[in-house]
Amino acid sequence: MLKKSLGVLKYGFVILIVLLSLGPFLWVLLASFKTNAEILSNSLGWPSSFRFSNYTKAFQIAPISRFYINSVIVGIFGTLLNLLLLGMAAYVLARFHFRGKKLLMGAFSLSLLIPGAAMLQPLYLTVNALGLYDKLIGLIIVYTGFGLPVSLYILSSYFLTIPKEMEESAYLDGASFIQTFFRIILPISKPGFGTAGVMQFLLCWNEFQFAIILTTGNQSRTLPLALYYFKSQFASDYGVMFAATMVVIIPSIVVYILLQEQVVSGLAAGAVKG
Amino acid sequence: MVRKNRGYITLFLLPTVALFIIVYAVSLVILFSTSFTEWSAGRSPVFIGLANYIKLFTDDADFRQSALNTGIWVVLQSTVHVAIGTLFAVILSMKEFYWKFARTVYMFPNIISGAAVGMLFLCMLNPEFGAVNSIVRLFGNADYSQNWFMDYATAFLSVTMTWLPYAAVVTILILAEIAAIPESLFESARIDGASNFKINLYIIIPMLRNIIGTCVILSGTSMLQKMDIILMTTGGGPGNQTMNLPIYIYKTALMDNNFGYSNSVGVFLIGFGLIFVLLCRNLFRIGSSQN
């Protein structure tokens, strides 16, 4: 008896969790194909036809394509720069012992303990002083910095698993330090870079609070801001609002489904630091 | 190897050190030093000692409400949220047919932008056409039009519900830890006649102390950052019902241009986070060996 009711509770809980996770997403997806009248009269039902007019209209009302391009640029360069810089630093920290290393590692892990919100005004000031306000490059540098602790940790743990003999034989063959890093170490560390890269890309793609304070014009705003700034424009046309929401959500979901294993191991690796 | 490569070591570290200085070190220096000043846009900071902090603690109702809300959300997230994620992980670890699907789907709300999550809930809870009110109407109450995010009675609860149940990160971390428990432990327990329920309660959960502690810290501290969802849904309102410290910093710094004051809130936020992390580390004895 006890066993049976426990089983019912268990499935009830699983179904509830799945509904809570998938429900809002599916409901907005369905609604994004409806007309305004349908949304108001038939909120829970199936759309009468799968028309894409809401999507084309969303792109007309707000400069979503501009925001999209900005997000892609920030995502790609924010990830590449982060992987390059942190890859180099993580390699040296994982492989060599030198004076000041402990201090450096301590300082870097300190960055995990600072809530981003505390740095809102100081970073706004710094970015302004560097002349990077309202420029994509400003966002790229800030996001590269935000990914510092997680990427450093994931990459240096990966480098530690590579046997030292790999480099020693490269040196014997006359390869330089730089050649060894770029030709030998980078290619065999692809899985580590993959994990760190996915985490960093999602950070750049989803970040909101610094995007909002470090940009002011449409030419440098990223996709999450589209929803914030055009909420009022969309408000009269619900279907368009739903379509715009889907446009922001779908890339994250696609990246996640394709690279799920990297995300899962990235989360696990990142958390050990906590 | 070090001597010969000293130049390269410096070269490889330099960009990251520069990045660290620009993003973190300079910010911390600005934050602490200007928290003791009266400073608004276009003026230079004037030293006023502890005046900002004194005002914060004695004469600022919005700050008090923000700190209180942040505290409540930290506590809820580090208890209820972690419990939901842990329970789900224990269920999924039985590897029944749905486990991979459920794990993937559960992650959706965590992987999409907070702004989009805010938008999803804004639509779901819309008084006119939102799914939640439509479902209530289905059960008879034809004029039901609760304005979840703007009603004083429901705003705080509605905002809380946008993150409290979504503990997929906790689930993933705990699943990974359960997978690392040696199989032999379960076998000997089964031989001794333990039921699945007992195995969960007495073997798995105690083995997870360290990782649960980590999850408590991660989930709790994530509440010190929450800004996007609140800004999308309530903007901190109605009144200051759903304000938290990040929103308050955003408002004082970038809407009122009261830089010195907002930075004293930033210092408070960092201190708040440090105390929380230290408390959790002691509570869960993180780092010490299991049992």
Res A273: pLDDT: 47
B48 C-beta neighbours (distance < 10 Å), count: 14
Residues 6+ apart with CB under 8 A from B25: A107
CB-side neighbour CA atoms (13 Å) of A61 = 23
CB contact under 8 A, B266 and A118: yes
Phi, psi of B49 (to 5 degrees): 65, -135
> Cα angle at B156 between B151 and B158, to 5 degrees?
80
How far from the centroid of its chain's Cα atoms is residue A141's Cα? 15
Specify whether the CB–CB gap between A104 and B12 falls below 8 A: no
Q: Going by C-beta distance under 8 Å and a sequence separation of 6 or more, which residues neighbour residue B14?
A: none
- Chain A residue with Cα closest to B257: A121
Whether the CB of B21 is below 8 Å from some CB of chain A: the reply is no
Q: Which residues is B263 bridged to in the sheet?
A: none
Instruction: Report the alpha-carbon distance of residue B242 to residue B230 in Å, rounded.
Output: 7
**pLDDT at res. B3:** 56
* Residues contacting residue A271 through CB under 8 Å, at least 6 positions apart: B169, B173, B211, B214, B215, B218
pLDDT at B291: 42
H-helix or E-strand spanning residue B47 = strand B46-47
Q: What is the C-alpha to C-alpha distance for residues A99 and A193, in angstroms, rounded to an integer?
A: 27
**B51-107 residue pLDDT tens:** 999 999 998 999 999 999 999 999 999 999 999 999 999 999 988 899 999 999 999
Tell me how close the Cα of B25 comes to any Cα of chain A, in angstroms: 9
Other beta carbons within 10 Å of A55: 19
Asked if A73 and A205 count as a contact pair (C-beta separation under 8 A), the reply is no
Regions of chain A short of the pLDDT cut 70 = 235, 270-274
Q: How confident is the model at residue B140 (pLDDT cuts 50, 70, 90)?
A: confident
Whether the pLDDT of residue B144 is over 90: the answer is no
Residues 6+ apart with CB under 8 A from B227: A117, A208, A209, B114, B244, B246, B247, B250
B259 touches A at CB < 8 Å: yes
Q: Render A113-180 in DSSP notation, one character per residue.
A: GS-GGGGHHHHHHHHHHTT-TT-HHHHHHHHHHHTHHHHHHHHHHHHHTS-THHHHHHHHTT--HHHI
Instruction: Write down the H helix ranges in chain B.
Output: 2-20, 26-34, 51-58, 61-76, 82-92, 99-111, 114-124, 131-138, 155-161, 168-179, 183-191, 196-198, 205-207, 209-222, 228-233, 245-250, 259-283
Query: What amino acid is encoded at A50 in this protein?
Result: F
Nearest beta carbon to residue A44 from set B1, B27, B135:
B135
Q: Which residue has the tokens 């509605």?
A: B158
Binary contact (B214, A274; C-beta < 8 A): yes
| Percent of chain B's residues with pLDDT above 90 | 64
**Could you tell me the pLDDT band of residue B11, with boundaries at 50, 70 and 90?**
very high
| Residues 6 or more apart whose Cβ sits within 8 Å of residue B60 | none
Residues in chain A within 8 Å Cβ distance of B119: 227, 231, 241, 245, 248
Does residue B173 sit at the A interface (CB-CB below 8 Å)? Answer: yes
Tell me how close the Cα of A218 comes to any Cα of chain B, in angstroms: 17
Question: Min CA distance, B35 vs chain A (Å)?
Answer: 11
Q: Do A113 and B273 touch (CB under 8 A)?
A: yes
Residue with tokens 């994982």: A94
pLDDT value of position A271: 64
pLDDT digits (tens, 9 = 90+) for A28-71: 999 999 888 888 888 888 888 888 888 998 888 878 889 989 99
Across the interface, of A17, A126, A207, the residue whose CB is closest to B88 is A17
The residue of chain A nearest to residue B167, with distances taken between CA atoms, is A17
Instruction: Choose the closest CB to B165 out of A20, A97, A177.
Output: A20
| Alpha-carbon span B269 to B225, nearest angstrom | 10
Q: Which amino acid is at B36?
A: F
Whether B129 and A123 lie within 8 Å, measured CB to CB: no
Mean pLDDT for the stretch of residues B23-51:
91
Q: Indicate whether B246 pLDDT > 90.
A: yes
Element spanning B46, H or E: strand B46-47
Q: For tokens 């928290």, what's the residue? A: B35
B157-212 pLDDT, tens digit each: 999 999 999 999 999 999 988 888 888 877 887 788 777 777 777 878 888 888 89
pLDDT at A274: 42
CATH architecture of the region B61-284: Orthogonal Bundle (1.10)
Q: Residue B46 pairs with which residues in a beta bridge? A: B38
Chain B hits for A120, Cβ within 8 Å:
246, 249-250, 253-254, 262, 266
User: What percent of chain B lies above the pLDDT cut of 70?
Assistant: 97
Domain range list for chain B:
61-284
Q: Which residues in chain B (58-97) have CB-CB distances under 8 A to chain A?
A: 84, 87-88, 91
CA distance B111 to chain A (A): 6
CA distance B6 to chain A (A): 9
- Hey, how many other C-beta atoms are within 10 angstroms of the C-beta on B49? 9
